[in-house]
Amino acid sequence: MLTYLLAKKGYDVLAISSTYLDGKLVKKKFFYRWDKNVFPARVVRCKTIKIERVYSPPLILFFPVTMFFQKFSLIHVHGVGSFSSFTGMLARLLFRNVRLVLTADMDLSTFLRMKKSLLYKRIMSLPLKVADALIVFTNREKGFLVEIGMNERKIHVIPMGVRFDNLSRISNRLDSDEIVLGFLGKIQRVKGVHRLAEPILRIMDEYPQKVKVVFAGPSQDADYASSIIGRLSKFSNFEYWGPLPLGSVDNFFRRCDIVFVPSLSESFSAVSLEAMAAGKCVIASNISPINKFIEHGKSGFLVDNDEQFYEYTKLLLNNPNLLKKIGRSARKKVACHAWVEVICKFESIYEHLLETVRK
């Protein structure tokens, strides 16, 4: 979205990406319609390879040769320790007039590992030190970076942007005869999907006519996903939509009234913000950064144990007016995350860095 909006504002934007999607390598032509949607930004899909590792997630490498044969004023890359962050660092070192911006979405596990291993910290910190500006979504991440020795003056906190204009048009009117509960995200342990199994089974059993349940998202861990989806699928009021293309995400939010976010760890929790923008009540883990934008009992519910997913869902099912009230409050709460607001903050940083090149 950032790429598209910058291009619409007149910037010459080239997005360089891989052919990797939801844990799989796919052919370039698969992305043709997707990439066309970000016009007038241009998109280059680079040759990508996937290297499996025994005790770690697979290593995804792509080779952005284009980056070294075209003239750029500024390069913006994502991820602490990502392949693209090291590629961007190399370009910044090779070309004196290029400025590097790095979105440093550091999670707790990466931070703790950097604290524990000096070698790991030195390697992962290289792109962070070379970058001219570091973007984080929350003050929590800023604190992580400062603690590992990054210059606080080049760290900028910019809230994650959501498609507020589109999502806020979605109705949060309730059908009193049917309330839909939903989960959207990767079906994997870190997303905490297993925490929902028992609470939802009880709810579907107690409200067989009133409640529908919709799960959507790729099942990257087949055994883990089947153990959960298989149990829930025994109920006729459960639906699993599988992986959703970007264009179908709004349909999920139109369908749901309550959205679960049971994650064990999150960097920014886009689903929470999007659901709130759509006027839905979010029942989520009481973890950072989710608990920074959900006010418990007013713009959503924060849970400290699995039983509370059941308790708060039942409370809302029995109090539909409360469900509507929280949905309205949630929408107002995340208005500051609208891209029209966020894009101005990125522009300010970009312009400041480009001015240093002109001097």
Query: Domain containing 24: what range?
Result: 2-161+338-358
Residue 30 has pLDDT above 80, yes or no: no
CA 38/CA 16 separation, integer angstroms: 13
pLDDT band at 12 (very low <50, low <70, confident <90, very high): confident
Residue 129 has pLDDT above 90, yes or no: yes
Q: Model confidence over 37-51: pLDDT tens digits? A: 788 888 888 778 777
Residue 271 has pLDDT above 70, yes or no: yes
Locate 274 and state its tokens: 């999007």
Average pLDDT over residues 315-327: 93
Quick one: 90 and 108 in the same domain? yes
Residue 84 has pLDDT above 80, yes or no: yes
Q: 21 — phi, psi (to 5°)?
A: -150, 125
Residue given tokens 């070379």 in the structure block: 130
Average pLDDT over residues 316-326: 92
Q: Work out the percent of the chain whose per-residue pLDDT is above 70.
A: 96
Cβ neighbours of residue 281 closer than 8 Å, sequence gap 6 or more:
257, 258, 259, 300, 301, 316, 323, 326, 327, 330
Average pLDDT over residues 297-323: 95
Question: Is 216:256 a contact under the CB 8 Å cutoff?
Answer: no
User: Closest Cα partner for 272 from 334, 335, 190?
Assistant: 334
Quick one: 306 and 348 in the same domain? no
Domain count, the chain: 2
Report the DSSP beta bridge partners of residue 99.
74
CA 318/CA 316 separation, integer angstroms: 5
Locate 190 and state its tokens: 């870190």
Determine the pLDDT at residue 176: 67
CA 334/CA 282 separation, integer angstroms: 12
Question: In Å, how far are 165, 168, 269, 301, 353 from 201, measured between CA atoms?
Answer: 35, 31, 25, 20, 53
Locate 315 and state its tokens: 């409370």
The residue that leads in pLDDT, 81 or 251, is 251
Determine the pLDDT at residue 67: 63
Quick one: 126 and 103 in the same domain? yes
Determine the pLDDT at residue 139: 87
Question: In Å, how far are 4, 113, 292, 296, 303 from 287, measured between CA atoms?
Answer: 31, 19, 9, 12, 9
Q: Which of 29-38, 127-136, 155-164, 268-277 has the lowest mean pLDDT?
A: 29-38
User: Closest Cα partner for 291 from 272, 271, 315?
Assistant: 272
Average pLDDT over residues 336-352: 90
Quick one: 246 and 279 in the same domain? yes
The residue that leads in pLDDT, 71 or 254, is 254
Which CATH number characterizes residue 49's domain?
3.40.50.2000
Q: Model confidence over 48-70: pLDDT tens digits? A: 877 777 666 677 777 776 666 67
Does residue 17 sit in helix, strand or coil? strand
| Average pLDDT for the chain | 88
Determine the pLDDT at residue 341: 85
Quick one: 174 and 122 in the same domain? no
Determine the pLDDT at residue 174: 72
Which helix (H) or strand (E) covers residue 351, if one does?
Answer: helix 339-358
Quick one: 157 and 192 in the same domain? no
CA 230/CA 233 separation, integer angstroms: 5
Residue given tokens 């179908």 in the structure block: 248
Quick one: 42 and 126 in the same domain? yes
Quick one: 19 and 73 in the same domain? yes
β-strands 20-21, 24-25: how paired?
antiparallel
Quick one: 94 and 235 in the same domain? no
Quick one: 78 and 186 in the same domain? no
- What is the residue type of 146? V
Determine the pLDDT at residue 220: 72
Determine the pLDDT at residue 51: 78
The residue that leads in pLDDT, 42 or 22, is 42
Quick one: 313 and 333 in the same domain? yes
* E strand segments, the chain: 14-17, 20-21, 24-25, 42-45, 48-51, 59-62, 74-78, 99-103, 133-136, 155-157, 179-184, 211-216, 238-240, 258-261, 281-285, 301-303
Residue 132 has pLDDT above 80, yes or no: yes
Report the DSSP beta bridge partners of residue 25.
20
Average pLDDT over residues 61-88: 81
Determine the pLDDT at residue 66: 64
Determine the pLDDT at residue 323: 93
Cis peptide before 320 (omega within 30 of 0): no
pLDDT band at 172 (very low <50, low <70, confident <90, very high): confident
CA 21/CA 117 separation, integer angstroms: 31
Average pLDDT over residues 165-169: 90
Q: Model confidence over 194-248: pLDDT tens digits? A: 999 999 999 999 999 899 999 999 887 888 999 999 999 999 999 999 888 777 8
Quick one: 332 and 346 in the same domain? no
